Amino acid sequence: MTSPAAISGPGAFRVLVLGSAAGGGLPQWNCGCATCRAAWADPAMHQGQVSLAVTADGGAHWFLVNASPDLRAQILATPELHPHPGHLRHSPIAGVILTNGEVDAVAGLLSLREGHAFSIHGHERVLDLLDMNPIFNVLDRARVPRLSLTPGEPFEPQLPDGTPSGLEVTAFEVAGKVAWYMEGVAGTPRETPGDTLGLTFRPKGQPGPVVHVLTACARIDDALRARLDGADLVFFDGTLWTDDEMIAQGLAPKTGAQMGHLPMSGPDGAIEGLNGVAIRQKVFVHVNNSNPAHLPGSPERQAIEAAGWVLPSVNQGFSP
């Protein structure tokens, strides 16, 4: 596997795209849809499940946005995340910031269990899901604290030694739904504040680039458009091309709306919903294996590129 895309901004603030696919990755291990068949035949199309890494100190320390089930392979493929020379045990990963409690956002935490200190930040509802499952107790809370974040309140995550990271993070509520494995559990509503978050990153205390990350989003409204207006870089949910894509391909009985995701296309989709919003660079992430926009040269890929959107690929660079 080759190194993931690097997104570099002025100074020491950077983002790495570790993976941009939705749950299951591309190709999905058991799928023979048209897009997966193309990816089985062409390793250049392979994508791990979505996770990003953000640094404010030039790469000495990184904070992950979600912990993909593919995280170990993503770390192996990313020299910036390798242990630094001269240490018996070391990792530049200083923390993980969770946007939801889905399997493809939290399962990779279990790959970080070998006694390294880092922090886990998440809404109390998502942290409660971790607390409910004792398998996550392999992460020693004395070394790996679980820290609740409050939407709308900026915070500066600390490094493992307690010093400031130089990164300012603000979580905000996004329309979505409860984690899939909690659907149908007695007494669990479909959507409660905290189930799905967006994140805003900027260098702490300086006029640097502003980056928004929304790996899931079920609705674009005026408040969200206003929040994203003027951004240097936005990573946005691009799960499906059309709302009924999974049904039309015979892959699943749910629409995108039922899964808590907007389509890319159509009058209610992300492309139209953010049309006219001043975003310097727009990048789709959490792109499902069924989405034909994965296919280079496809009409769907041409349509997103014509609208100013990008699907990140390995070794692709951006400048926020």
| In this structure, CATH architecture of domain 5-313 | 4-Layer Sandwich (3.60)
Q: What is the pLDDT of residue 9?
A: 42
Length, in residues, of the chain: 320
Contact 102, 179 (CB under 8 A): yes
Question: Which residue from 198, 220, 201, 199 is spatially nearest to 209, judged by alpha carbons?
Answer: 201
Record the pTM: 0.94
| Single-letter amino acid, residue 72 | R
Say whether pLDDT at 185 is over 90.
no
pLDDT single digits (tens) 100-151: 999 999 999 999 998 899 999 999 999 999 999 999 999 999 999 999 999 9
pLDDT bracket for residue 217 (50, 70, 90): very high
Domain residue extents for the chain = 5-313
Q: What are phi and psi of 298, to 5 degrees?
A: -70, 160
